[in-house]
Structure 1
């Protein structure tokens, strides 16, 4: 007589990254053996949100209706939490029992007429879901920043890990190729400031003070802010789209499979390049913006170029220029982090590329303006 050995059911839960997880079911999933497994299953389910789960069931021995219903219920809970679940290694008995029970549950659910929630409940439910979504996005964003910082520290300890060629290429894309649009935008800002100031100052015969307004406002506030906004719309969106396409075509997954860390190879070169390029762009914008204001001052207020430059040397302290340039690395870091983070958030459909690109630009511009406001408050309180 052959004795059949009973193996206790077990579930191994492994989260390989912030976007993928692997579960493995083992043993005999029978009704009388599942008591201690249910708390573990619920704990694993609660830990996953918006990830791709690969559930390996190849090591399951025998399974009855109760065991299969546990799999199906877990599958439904995971889908409600935004997870994509893929079963692997199913036996014929597993597939047959799964199809039978799933069909029965579908027919049963269709025969029931669920009560429609009231309008207030629906609104509160939507608010709750959005709040939870914002919380998880914030947590993932902070985790992304931490992971990038760790790889940056590793690169500092191992300078050979810096991808110099990639950094130079990104400086060319984010800096040199952005010069035409930065020049045009800065020139127009200088023209607008000069025109608006000239109309008011001319009433009081204080034409010479237009130099003070143009020099200080452009170098300290307008050039850094406008340049950062243009770069956020141009380069930040580019980062999101580039990484989003790589995520969509599974190039990032392939890099991880081959042992290449995406943060070190994709994020750090873009971040470092933008932090080096933006201060130079701001200095360039200072020159072009002041030149635009000087031209309008000459045409509208009959202020000669020599008078303008002489006044500018007397009123424009070097600290104003350095304050504006010093904001550049902070603005660049925010733009690069937001752009790369949203690129990694792209789902497996083309529509999400456009959605996350829009989110990237909006968030980057908001954070740049908020950061500039913080700088203004701090520097004003310090009397700088």
Structure 2
């Protein structure tokens, strides 16, 4: 911009390209303009070669600045195209913030329903791709990633033994103490063995193990795959012709399907051990008598029914974690959001699946 005097008038000539690529330079020129007193100004737009909406907005800002300083301002040299764009932008050109849209209860419910519906469609798409990948792996077993599967068995199974053992031990301890408080009132202390054995092997052992693994492995899977997506490693794999499901999803799912039954078996033993110790200190039931009573009342079917749930729980946890990992978008905040969602959804679906098994086993007479 060039500023010159012509008698009592100040002429501001606009030159060159007024585009978004030059906007930072034009803003500097705007800040340099100083006009003393309330004088008449003419803004000449003849010399502008190229322009876009950013340039027209800067012109509007210049006009607004001159008016605020008390200068009488006129505009010259504006083409028809520039005038139409100016009229279009003037409709929304305002210094006042736009009023916040008020949303009612129905709006929020509808928005949540639409988001959940889209998530469901995305999961069905993911499940379809996963099914196709499993079928292709069945036809081409050489694509099976043995080393990755063993690594995830160690990472998701062996490394989780301590936290699962500690959790199961404390749960067995608490259940025994709470049960003995009630049973001792009726002289039925011995039946604590029945309750602990059946409850832990049939329900609590599988459930506790699955919830711990959901919080541990589902979040890990989502964060790992999400980070790979942000760093474009998954896009690079697709570009090189590798199927990400063979390398990232299937090894994790198979590893958890193998590891979870073993973890549930370990959880059952530690949970019963916790109940045994609590019974010894609370009502002095000896270890040998506890084990003898356990052999009498604990049928193999209760243990088997608990293990039957393991592959389903494992698939739900691993698939949910991987699904949310693939949903990560191009920012780090999305990793936290999807990781949290993976844990919440995995735990919810595990509990829902366990409730479904309970209904089925009851109807079948088990």
Compute the TM-score of the two structures, normalised by the length of structure 1.
0.71
Q: CA 1:329–1:298 in 2, change beyond 3 Å: closer, same or farther?
A: same
2:120 to 135, 138, 152: 138
1:109 positional shift: 2.8
Between Structure 1 and Structure 2, whose CA radius of gyration is higher?
2
Structure 1, residues 65-113: CA drift from partner, whole Å, max 9, x if none? xxxxxxxxxxxxxxxxxxxxxxxxxxxxxxxxxx999887544333599
Structure 2: how far apart are the matches of 1:100 and 1:129? 40
- Distance in 2, Cα, partners of 1:210 & 1:379: 23
2:110 — aligned with what? 128
Alpha-carbon distance between aligned partners in 1 of 2:101 and 2:149, rounded to the nearest angstrom: 55
Shift of 1:309: 0.7
How has the CA–CA distance of structure 1 residues 191 and 161 changed in structure 2, closer, same or farther, with 3 Å as cutoff?
Answer: same
The CA distance in 1 between the partners of 2:230 and 2:338, in whole Å, is: 13
Shift of 1:127: 3.0
- Give 1:130 shift: 2.2
CA root-mean-square deviation: 2.4
**How many equivalent residue pairs?**
287
- Structure 2, unmatched stretches of 5+, are 1-81
Where structure 1 has 5 or more consecutive residues not aligned to the other structure, the ranges are 1-98
Which whole-Å deviations, capped at 9, do the CAs of 1:141-166 have from their partners, x for residues lacking one? 01101110110111112111110110
In structure 2, relative to structure 1, the CA distance for the partners of 1:324 and 1:112 (3 Å cut) is same
Gap change, CA 1:361 and 1:100, over 3 Å in 2? farther
List aligned pairs for 1:332-351, cutoff 5 A: 332-351=314-333
Deviation of 1:128 (Å): 2.6
Structure 1 stretches of 4+ moved >2 Å = 99-119, 121-130
Change (3 A) 1:308 1:157: same
Cα deviation digits, residues 219-277 of structure 1 (max 9, x gap): 00000001000000011100000011001111111111111111111000001101110
The match for 1:371 among 353, 357, 362 is 353
Instruction: Summarize the Cα distance change of 1:108–1:289 in structure 2 as closer, same or farther, 3 Å threshold.
Output: same
Q: CA separation of 1:106/1:376 partners in 2, compared to 1, >3 Å: closer, same or farther?
A: farther
Match of 1:27 in 2: none
Identify the residue that residue 143 of structure 2 maps to in structure 1: 161
SS in structure 1 opposite 2:190? Answer: helix
Match of 2:311 among 322, 329, 338: 329
Equivalent in the alignment of 2:93: 110
SS class of match (1:207): coil
2:203 maps to 221
Asked whether 1:241 is paired with 2:223, we answer: yes
